[in-house]
């Protein structure tokens, strides 16, 4: 057995590498730089953890892992400790004495992997330590996790990541591996440029997460829509609900709790101790729903998140993909559910227009938002559209809402032309713009106080759209905004304006084909899919009655051990490992050898206890 396979088996309990892991690890162990794009749940951490162990065994020193999150550092170091790897972190949770002790261990070569935030790595005190290690040729590797944070185009841009260029400039002989789960072509090129990885070998895995079912619905009563989705498909399951604002987070968390669900809020406005307590309970308990802004999630390793829901539309596809990717990390069936509406588009456009960035940057953000809107409005396979955004070709998946229940399509060209004509005529008559609701009221022939005030009932298009529902006209407006045939003036109360792209639609040169309302189809989908998803979120259905008893007993034992160690339960053993143990019903330590997820240290630490639990069940 090769050194790398021995490490994989001894420390992590796996027999084989997955996907491109082996090629990446061999390249980095050999001293090469690498840029790794691998989806959430694809096993990125092993791509630097195994090289760190191997290079230290080969006398090349310690490895530094740059990570943006304290919670992630704690859990990864805890998991490595459980596996028998010497790991530590340096962050603000340590006292001065604790940090000093860790630094001394670092200099004595007693640490294999050290986790630190970019601010820590680039401060003068830490650089002095690195200088001393480098002079002694004792730095084996720099691993830059969540590398999209370095890019202005990335969805979690962090300016402090830009300073990491000094690693290459200062320690040029030390190999570097940069890793991320999400980066389109623009973000990838920015990562390469900012981290000076022009000579690095790039490893791009498939972005497909086939176990995730994508569903996107029109926003009507979002809170009730969310509740129906959870109650029909995910009763008792762990999940994440993303909201645009802190106020929205608080409201939704309260509504879920009032409905009998175990929900917690998480946003940057909460006290740090409250955020940490909520995150710990989410990671360490079962069936907790975290309602959060995007402040929550990056680096969350909880494998049994069964759904991710967006109550508001994200900013771009990278953010959407990264956030939905937190569901189903264990490979079991999971759902990505989102509801969106015209107001989401208006709000996102306004935030872009009002930002202090230069116009070129704003235009890039608009393009990313338009791509997400295109995904939401798509009539064809969601997965094909999603993967296409990342430059990957695929076939219809048969596991998204559009594949399972193809939407009816209607021709909205006439409605689009009438909407554009109304906007044009109002601007001509009043010399000013108006919002979407007022435009639709005119077209549908509604007499409101505002219409009477401005004498808009005499507009020639007044009442010409009476045959269209408000929902249909909103869908048309979303499409017009998506193809840049209508713009939103955030400086003038979100009024609608024509653009250079309006002319082609007015002339009938650009057809507008839209999906009919899919509310009823989605309800059918939720009902038909519920049993399939639920079956995979509870006790594994492949186990017989005795096996299910063993599984339940093992989970209870694992929860106790996790509490004692102050670690998430999956760090001790994941569900797949418990399922395998419950299925095989081992009677000796030899029987446990070879079960995926049980390495040498875990066999030594927990083997006898696992056997006792099995015998009592």
Q: Please state, in angstroms and as integers, the Cα–Cα distance from residue 498 to each residue in 426, 428, 481, 493, following that order.
A: 11, 12, 10, 15
Matching residue, tokens 């990541």: 161
- CA torsion 309-396-35-52 (nearest 10°) is 70
pLDDT higher than threshold 50 for residue 533: no
Q: Domains along the chain? A: 3-204 (3.40.50.300), 212-406 (3.40.50.300), 410-514 (1.10.10.10), 539-616 (1.10.150.80)
Beta bridge partners of 342: none
Question: Is the distance from CB of 510 to CB of 483 less than 8 angstroms?
Answer: yes
At 344-380, the pLDDT tens digits run 888 888 888 888 888 888 888 888 888 898 899 888 9
Residue 5 confidence (pLDDT): 94
Q: In a 3-state reduction of DSSP, which class is residue 218? A: strand
Q: What is the dihedral of CA 491, 494, 499, 505, to 10 degrees?
A: 180
Contact indicator for 403, 350 with CB cutoff of 8 Å: no
Q: What is the pLDDT of residues 294-307, one digit of tens each?
A: 878 666 778 899 99
pLDDT band at 243, cuts 50/70/90? very high
DSSP classification of residue 400: B
Contact indicator for 1, 186 with CB cutoff of 8 Å = no
pLDDT over threshold 50, residue 408: yes
In the chain, the percentage of residues whose pLDDT exceeds 90 is 61
Q: Tell me: pLDDT of 187 over 60.
A: yes
- 84: nearest Cα among 113, 105, 107: 113
558 to each of 264, 361, 398, 568, 571, how far by Cα in Å?
24, 49, 36, 10, 10
Q: How many angstroms separate the most distant Cα atoms in the chain? A: 87
Closest CA to 182 of 314, 323, 34: 323
Decide which of 494 and 238 is more confident: 238
Cα 372 from Cα 210, distance rounded (Å): 20
Q: Which of 401, 407, 402, 406 is nearest to 335 (CA)?
A: 401
Helices 436-443, 470-482: inter-axial angle, 10-degree rounding: 130
Classify 180 as helix, strand or coil.
strand
Burial class (CB within 10 angstroms; exposed 0-12, middle 13-18, buried 19+) of 542? exposed
The angle that helices 436-443 and 413-430 make with each other, rounded to 10 degrees, is: 110
DSSP 8-state assignment for residue 53:
H
**Residues 597 and 46: beta-carbon distance below 8 Å:** no
Q: Are 87 and 77 in contact (CB under 8 A)?
A: yes
State the pLDDT at residue 1: 54
How many of the other CB atoms lie within 10 Å of CB of 469?
A: 12
- How confident is residue 96, by pLDDT bands cut at 50, 70 and 90? very high
Per-residue pLDDT of 477-520, as tens digits, reads: 888 887 778 888 766 777 888 989 899 999 888 888 877 754 43
pLDDT digits over 423-480, tens only? 999 888 877 889 889 999 999 999 999 999 999 999 999 999 999 988 889 889 888 8
Give the separation between CA 105 and CA 97, rounded to whole angstroms. 12
């Amino acid at each position: 057995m090769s050194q790398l396979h021995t490490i994989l088996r001894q420390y992590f309990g796996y027999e084989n590498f997955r996907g491109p892991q082996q090629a990446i690890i061999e390249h980095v162990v050999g001293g090469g730089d690498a840029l790794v794009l691998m989806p959430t749940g694809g096993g990125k951490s092993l791509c630097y953890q195994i090289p760190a162990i191997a290079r230290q065994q080969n006398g090349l020193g310690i490895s530094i892992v740059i990570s943006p999150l304290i919670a992630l550092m704690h859990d990864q170091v805890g998991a490595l400790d459980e596996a028998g790897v010497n790991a530590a972190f340096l962050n603000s949770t340590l006292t001065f004495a604790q940090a000093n002790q860790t630094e001394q261990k670092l200099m004595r070569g007693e640490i294999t992997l050290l986790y630190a935030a970019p601010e820590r790595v680039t401060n003068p005190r830490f650089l002095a330590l690195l200088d001393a290690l480098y002079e002694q040729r004792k730095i084996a590797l720099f691993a830059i996790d969540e590398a999209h944070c370095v890019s202005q185009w990335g969805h979690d841009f962090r300016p402090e990541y830009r300073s990491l260029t000094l690693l290459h400039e200062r320690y040029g002989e030390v190999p570097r591996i940069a890793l991320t789960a999400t980066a389109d072509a623009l973000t990838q090129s920015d990562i390469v440029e900012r981290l000076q990885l022009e000579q690095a070998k790039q490893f791009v895995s498939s972005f497909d997460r086939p176990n995730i079912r994508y569903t996107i619905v029109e926003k009507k009563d979002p809170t009730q829509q969310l509740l129906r989705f959870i109650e029909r498909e995910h009763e008792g399951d762990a999940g994440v609900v993303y909201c645009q604002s802190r106020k929205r987070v608080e409201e939704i968390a309260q509504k879920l709790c009032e409905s009998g669900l175990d929900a917690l809020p998480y946003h940057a406005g909460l006290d740090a101790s409250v955020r940490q307590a909520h995150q710990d309970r989410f990671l360490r308990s079962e069936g907790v729903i975290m309602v959060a802004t995007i402040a929550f999630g990056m680096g969350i390793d909880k494998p049994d998140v069964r759904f991710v829901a967006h109550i508001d539309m994200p900013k771009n596809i990278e953010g959407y993909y990264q956030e939905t990717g937190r569901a189903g990390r264990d490979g079991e069936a999971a759902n990505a559910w989102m509801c969106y509406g015209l107001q989401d588009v208006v709000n996102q456009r306004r935030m872009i227009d009002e930002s202090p960035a230069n116009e070129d940057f704003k235009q890039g953000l608009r393009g990313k938002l338009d791509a997400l809107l295109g995904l939401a409005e798509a009539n064809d396979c969601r997965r094909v559209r999603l993967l296409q955004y990342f430059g990957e070709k695929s076939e219809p998946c048969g596991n998204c809402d559009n594949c399972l229940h193809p939407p009816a399509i209607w021709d909205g060209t006439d409605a689009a032309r009438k909407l554009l004509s109304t906007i044009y005529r109002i601007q001509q008559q009043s010399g000013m713009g108006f919002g979407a609701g007022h435009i639709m009221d005119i077209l549908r022939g509604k007499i409101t106080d505002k219409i009477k005030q401005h004498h808009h009932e005499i507009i020639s298009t007044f009442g010409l759209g009476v045959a269209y529902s408000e929902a249909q006209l909103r869908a048309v407006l979303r499409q017009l905004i998506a193809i840049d045939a209508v713009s939103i003036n955030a400086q003038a109360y979100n009024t609608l304006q024509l653009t250079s792209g309006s002319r082609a639609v007015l002339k009938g040169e650009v057809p507008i084909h839209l999906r009919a309302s899919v509310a009823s189809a989605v309800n059918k989908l939720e009902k038909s899919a519920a049993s399939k998803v639920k079956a995979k979120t509870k006790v594994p259905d492949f186990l017989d009655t005795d096996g299910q008893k063993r599984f339940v007993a093992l989970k209870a034992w694992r929860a106790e051990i996790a509490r004692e160690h102050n670690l998430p339960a999956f760090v001790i053993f994941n569900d797949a490992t418990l399922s395998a143990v419950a299925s095989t019903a081992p009677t000796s330590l030899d029987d446990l050898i070879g079960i995926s997820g049980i390495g040498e240290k875990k066999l030594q630490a927990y083997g006898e206890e696992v056997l006792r639990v099995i015998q009592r069940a």
